[in-house]
Amino acid sequence: MEKQLYELKVDPDFANLIPPLQENELSMLTESILANGCEMPLVVCHGVIVDGHNRYRICHENGVPFAIEEKEFDSREAAEVWIVRNQLGRRNLSDFQRCELVLPLEERLKAEAQAAKKRAISISRRGENDFEMVQNSAPSQNKTRDALSKLAGVSHDTLGKAKKIMESADEETKDRLRRGELSIHRAYTELAQTKPQMEADAAEPVEGKTEYRSLLTKPIFEHYEPPAYMEPIPFEPVVPPDFSSADEADEADEAAAVPQASPAAERVREMGQLFLDGLGETLEGLERGDVEQVLAIVEDIGEKAVQTAKRYLKEH
């Protein structure tokens, strides 16, 4: 193949699909090109680089000629999938880097799934058999995540954790994951432990309202302060003019017959309701693994509450 300094186009979307080289990797690639020339041709499609962005930059910075190989794709999405597969097969990547490679394809594959579903609905008007055939072949969102985890060579759960890390973790943590110094599970666990506290610290209290923190970050039976709206409102009872003393006595007897909850019991009931409300909000949108962790915490809290009450009965 003829080698020269071709002027090619760089598509930012294609370039961003490729994980950046570590400093030592970039140094080794530069040394290799300067010593032996650019041995592998750059893959291009109609003058746009599909594979070889780092080699293209190094060659132009140092005046090293290179060869190109033309490749055709059915669509832009097909080119993106090819780029990801090519990188997964050629580079020694950490699990996090592999997840970083495939996750940008998630929305594209979901869009394809939605388009296939619309086609299935359209074809359903032609006949039931045609509809069943296309419906069975249309990918679902679950299949999209399964396809991505299979492409990355990681489990479905690991891919989900990596996605949350990409959304919430700091760059230092991500760099450690890329270098293989930190596992996805460890980083996710640390993030899950620190995120509720970070969100609570970042929340600005609204004037006139009590500031709340997640009920799962500390024991619910400690540090409790009832909000202002739960304070009893004083009122004067309205007594009908014809209210007789006999009626008053009957009512007193009925009230005595019905056991009344003590202030302490009512307080615990209020605390429990607050806990249930907070638990419901916490569970919304969580994956199965996260719900199981919350369940373990709830069971532990319930058991400790029962033990605390029983121990007090024995001591008193």
- Give the pLDDT confidence of 135-193 residue by residue, as tens digits: 444 445 567 788 888 888 888 889 989 999 999 999 999 989 988 888 999 999 988 88
Q: Residue 177 domain-assigned?
A: yes
- Burial code (b: 16+ CB inside 10 Å, e: under 16) for 116-152 equals eeeebeeeeeeeeeebeebeeebbeeeebbebbbebb
Q: Residue 208 domain-assigned?
A: no
Amino acid at 227: P
Could you tell me if 117 and 67 lie in one domain? no
Which comes out higher in pLDDT, residue 259 or 12? 12
Q: Is 56's pLDDT higher than 80?
A: yes
Could you tell me if 81 and 28 lie in one domain? yes
Range of the domain at 292: 228-235+243-315
User: In sequence order, what are the residues at sequence separation of 6 or more whose Cβ sits closer than 8 angstroms to the Cβ of residue 94?
Assistant: 177, 178, 179, 180
Could you tell me if 87 and 101 lie in one domain? no
Could you tell me if 193 and 288 lie in one domain? no
What is the domain count for the chain? 3
pLDDT at position 143 is: 77
User: In sequence order, what are the residues at sequence separation of 6 or more whose Cβ sits closer than 8 angstroms to the Cβ of residue 49?
Assistant: 8, 9, 10, 11, 14, 15, 42, 43, 56
Q: pLDDT for 249-258, tens place per residue?
A: 555 555 555 4
Q: Is 44's pLDDT higher than 90?
A: yes
Which comes out higher in pLDDT, residue 24 or 37? 37
Q: Is 47's pLDDT higher than 80?
A: yes
Cα gap 254→294, rounded to integer Å: 43
Q: What pTM, to 2 d.p., does this model score?
A: 0.50
Q: Residue 216 domain-assigned?
A: no
pLDDT at position 209 is: 43
Confidence tier at 263 by pLDDT (50, 70, 90)? confident
- pLDDT above 70 coverage of the chain, percent: 69
Q: Is 212's pLDDT higher than 60?
A: no
Confidence tier at 288 by pLDDT (50, 70, 90)? confident
Q: Is 97's pLDDT higher than 50?
A: yes
Could you tell me if 59 and 22 lie in one domain? yes
Average pLDDT, the chain: 75
pLDDT at position 55 is: 95
Could you tell me if 110 and 29 lie in one domain? no
Could you tell me if 17 and 47 lie in one domain? yes
Could you tell me if 46 and 130 lie in one domain? no
Q: Residue 188 domain-assigned?
A: yes
Beta strand 42-45 pairing with 68-70: parallel
Radius of gyration over every alpha carbon of the chain, rounded to an integer in angstroms? 32
Could you tell me if 55 and 85 lie in one domain? yes
Q: pLDDT for 213-247, tens place per residue?
A: 444 444 444 444 444 444 444 544 444 455 455 55
